[in-house]
Amino acid sequence: MSAALPRWLSNRPPVAAVEINPRRVTAAVISGQGGSRVLSSYAGEPLPAGVVDASLNAINVHDPAALTAAIRSVLDRLSSRPRRVALVLPDTVGKLSLVRFEKVPAKAQDLDQLIRWQVRKAAPFKIEDAQVSYIPGIVPPEGGREFVVTVARRDVIESYERACEAAGAYPGIVDLATINLVNAVLATDGRAAPTADWLLVHIAADYSTMAVVRGADVIFFRTRAAEKDDDLADLVHQTAMYHEDRLGGGGFARVVLAGASLRGADAVDRLRHELEGRLGVRVDPLDFRGAVAMRDRIAVAPELLDSLAPAIGVILREQTA
């Protein structure tokens, strides 16, 4: 998949990525060894409360100096300090929509204007102040084309970019967390990626996102504020019903759960059991080790896999592309 938010084109894909959320800054570096990809180093730094508030239509970075210091700290602890990184932000920073056209303009400029006109009605800010990015989605059976469109306030994205640049790293790519969890799953599956529909359930500290993917194309994407496990199970069930009634689905080929370990092992087991009972399909944790090997000295815990997955996903996507 391409980036959900605009990128600065470059000749070489990044080997490092930084993820920022209200609780933590995480960085990861992937290197090539003997034809394989290896997680060569990683680092994380907790953020004090109030430094970052990830929202769509408000100031996000309330303490730029503290955020810059955290980014600098994780970069300094990597095996080699990258100057160019991919940047991953919470889903709540942008608004991702699926926009369908019966006829697609031949000229890129006309398509860009049409997409901006279509999404301006749903954006809670002026489209002139927005960063708009889109990638092709599915081709509907009845014809036309669907596009995966992300809208974010330009000044919000720039506030994160400035913090990275002040720490000595330049974000050539900016993207959303769940999109890159999808990328991590696709890269891990490789040629065995399912052609049938599958569901990704992403549980973050302050929100949850459901993404239904048809092969490699996102066909449903919904983000909600953080909920109790019972409410989350209900939301997953509603997503399954919408998938069956409105998207022509006949059940999910697989369900992948990401981020749940950060709520504790008991919560993971309880949620997986609840989802499996409602959906009638096995629920697997997201495990990117099929695409990226871990060095022996790195202890592998579910919390570590969940923390690193968004950053790993964006690196894998760019290197694969």
Phi, psi of 307 (to 5 degrees): -65, -35
Q: Are residues 109 and 24 in the same domain?
A: no
248: left (phi over 0), alpha (psi -120 to 50) or beta: left
Which comes out higher in pLDDT, residue 3 or 234? Answer: 234
- Tell me whether residue 257 is in a domain: yes
Higher-confidence position of 32 and 115: 115
What pLDDT was estimated at residue 229? 62
Whether 144 and 250 share a structural domain: no
CB 26 within 8 A of CB 70: no
Q: How would residue 226 be classed by pLDDT, with cut points 50, 70 and 90?
A: confident
Which is it for strands 84-89 and 24-33: parallel, antiparallel or unpaired? unpaired
pLDDT of residue 250: 86
Measured distance CA(148)–CA(150) in Å, rounded: 7
With bands split at pLDDT 50, 70 and 90, how would you rate the model's confidence at 299?
Answer: low
Contact 140, 146 (CB under 8 A): yes
Q: How far apart (Å, rounded) are the C-alpha atoms in residues 47 and 55? A: 16
Q: What is the pLDDT of residue 85?
A: 96
Instruction: For residue 32, name the pLDDT band (cuts at 50, 70, 90).
Output: confident
- State the alpha helices, DSSP H only, in 79-153: 108-119
Whether 87 maps to a domain, the answer reads yes
Task: Express as a percent the part of the chain with pLDDT over 90.
Answer: 77
In a domain, 9, yes or no: no
Looking at the domain assignment, is residue 233 inside a domain?
yes
Please check the confidence at residue 4 and state whether its pLDDT lies above 60. Answer: no
Range 229-236 contact pairs with CB under 8 angstroms and sequence separation of 24 or more:
229/267, 229/270, 229/271, 229/274, 230/274, 232/201, 232/203, 232/208, 232/271, 233/271, 233/274, 233/275, 233/278, 235/208, 235/210, 236/199, 236/201, 236/210, 236/275, 236/278, 236/279
Q: Measuring CA to CA, how many Å separate 209 from each of 132, 166, 202, 276?
A: 20, 31, 5, 18
Residues 153-195 have pLDDT tens digits of 999 999 999 999 999 999 989 999 999 999 999 999 875 556 7
Indicate which CATH number applies to the domain containing 74.
Answer: 3.30.420.40
Question: Minimum mean pLDDT among 189-193, 221-225, 281-285: which range?
Answer: 189-193
Query: CA angle, 280 as apex, 278 and 284 as ends, to 5°?
Result: 95
> Are residues 171 and 214 both part of a single domain?
no
- Same structural domain, 102 and 202: no
- Whether 172 and 109 map to the same domain: the answer is no
Lowest-confidence range among 6-15, 197-206, 217-226, 276-285?
6-15
112 in the same domain as 53: no
Higher pLDDT, 142 or 69: 69
Mean pLDDT score of the chain:
91
pLDDT tens-place string over residues 43-90: 999 999 999 999 999 999 999 999 999 999 999 999 999 999 999 999
Residues 70 and 133 in one domain: no
DSSP-derived letter for residue 128 is G
Quick check: is 11 in a domain?
A: no
Query: Do 178 and 247 fall into the same domain?
Result: no
Q: How confident is the model at residue 8 (pLDDT cuts 50, 70, 90)?
A: very low
Task: Let me know if residue 119 belongs to a domain.
Answer: yes
Which helix (H) or strand (E) segment is 105 a member of?
A: none
| Residue-number span of the structural domain to which 35 is assigned | 16-92+154-182+289-320
Residues 202 and 270 in one domain: yes
Q: How much is the average pLDDT of 253-264?
A: 90
Choice among 15-29, 126-140, 203-217, 224-238 with the minimum mean pLDDT: 224-238
d(CA 161, CA 294): 29
Mean pLDDT of 241-253: 93
Of the candidates 91, 95, 93, 73, which has an alpha carbon nearest to the alpha carbon of residue 26? 73
Query: How many domains is the chain built from?
Result: 3
Q: What is the mean pLDDT of residues 120-126?
A: 94
pLDDT bin (cut points 50, 70, 90) of residue 1 is very low
Question: How does strand 145-153 pair with strand 95-101?
Answer: antiparallel
